Amino acid sequence: MPALLNRIFGRMFVPAHPVAGPVPFGSRYVLSADRLAIESGPLAGTALRVERSISDTKADFAFYEIADGSAPVANRQSPITPDPVAHCHFDRDPETGTETLWGVFIRSEFRHRRLTTPLIRLTFRELLASGRRHWFAIRKLMQVDSEAGRRDAQSPGNPKPEIQSPLSPRITLRNLGIGLVALRLGFRPEPDIDSMLSPGNVKAVQALLPDPPDPPGLLLRLATQPGLLVAAFLDPDTGMPLADAEAYERFVSPRQLLRQTFNGQAIIGNVDYILPRTALAGFAARLANDHAELKRFTAALRRGARN
């Protein structure tokens, strides 16, 4: 039982104080030069080629299928294609050491197979190992299709969510995986979220129906940029998205959503995320493989820490 509780809470909460050692995070993998071998999860047995291009101001990472046939992509029937399986990008600020992640993408047939965590962990690790001072941010966590939102969000000023009519064009809560990974690493929404979710700025709220494997969620229409937000509540015991669509029909207020987000009990997408200084220890522990790395990563983050 203590092991189970540890696993659940280890995923959810990022301690403010130094942690004793590295914390396992996501599917296990081994990286050797440009070869990534995934050892657990739905892609266990898959080998991918890693390509990286890192300059002072930018970094790009991509995973590709390997065509030599020595380690085929697990459970996959279709032929190998030259398109990347996954990629992500960073803007790097050499002055402050801040690495801003954007454009995380996983090709559709590799989605929902737990590849996001290895991608993010690997890229954060490589950047952290590359200098003396680092801090991290994420631009536009969980992007939202604004056209779809314009068609569907309804009822200006009504704090109670409209339920999506079966006749209306379907919007679902996609891209939640990156939000869960970010939250587990300790990222939280940028401070502007406070004014975005102020009562006068939320024009409409809509409950999004589940569309397996996508869970139910909320769509909020704002008077100001970015115009639309999506959100999901997390089960406080497991850290997993709530499967209960009725929870969204009982939704009380944007301020409640704000509180839950800062407590790690909800994810809001379509906004920028920052790493609070209090997340430093838990963040480093989830990236480090051993105690020596944990020490180095913690020192590099302490030097770069902001807010």
Ligand X SMILES: CC(C)(COP(=O)(O)OP(=O)(O)OC[C@H]1O[C@@H](n2cnc3c(N)ncnc32)[C@H](O)[C@@H]1OP(=O)(O)O)[C@@H](O)C(=O)NCCC(=O)NCCS
**Which residue in the set 10, 84, 97, 177 belongs to the binding site for ligand X (CB under 6 A)?**
177
**Which residue in the set 153, 176, 242, 268 belongs to the binding site for ligand X (CB under 6 A)?**
176
Does residue 304 bind ligand X (CB under 6 A)? no
Strand partners, 214: 211
CB 28 within 8 A of CB 123: no
* E strand segments, 66-181: 86-92, 98-106, 135-141, 158-163
| Region from 28-36, 54-62, 125-133, 177-185 binding ligand X, contact rule CB under 6 A | 177-185
CB closer to ligand X out of 50 and 300:
50
**Which residue in the set 117, 123, 164, 261 belongs to the binding site for ligand X (CB under 6 A)?**
117
* Residue 9 CB neighbour total at 10 angstroms: 13
CA distance 225 to 128: 32
CA distance 216 to 171: 10
**Which residue in the set 73, 142, 153, 288 belongs to the binding site for ligand X (CB under 6 A)?**
142
CB 50 within 8 A of CB 34: yes
| Region from 62-70, 74-82, 100-108, 147-155 binding ligand X, contact rule CB under 6 A | 100-108
Does residue 128 bind ligand X (CB under 6 A)? no
Residue 142 exposed, middle or buried by CB count within 10 Å (0-12, 13-18, 19+): buried
Q: What minimum distance in Å lies between the beta carbon of 243 and ligand X? A: 8
| Region from 50-58, 172-180, 189-197, 256-264 binding ligand X, contact rule CB under 6 A | 172-180
CB closer to ligand X out of 86 and 222:
86
Report how far Cα 15 is from the mean position of its chain's Cα atoms: 18
Q: Cis bond leading into 213, ω under 30°?
A: yes
Q: Which of residues 2-41 bind ligand X (CB under 6 A)?
A: 26-27
CA distance 66 to 48: 6
Give the closest residue to 273 by CA, choosing from 150, 143, 149.
Answer: 143
Contacts of 82 (CB under 8 A, 6+ apart): 64
Does residue 114 bind ligand X (CB under 6 A)? yes
| Region from 50-58, 134-142, 187-195, 255-263 binding ligand X, contact rule CB under 6 A | 134-142
Nearest residue relative to ligand X (C-beta): 177
Q: Would you say how long the chain is, in residues?
A: 307
Does residue 218 bind ligand X (CB under 6 A)? no
Q: What minimum distance in Å lies between the beta carbon of 280 and ligand X? A: 20
**Which residue in the set 74, 105, 210, 276 belongs to the binding site for ligand X (CB under 6 A)?**
105
Question: Which residues contact ligand X by CB under 6 A?
Answer: 26-27, 104-106, 111-117, 140-143, 174-178, 180-181, 213, 215, 240-241
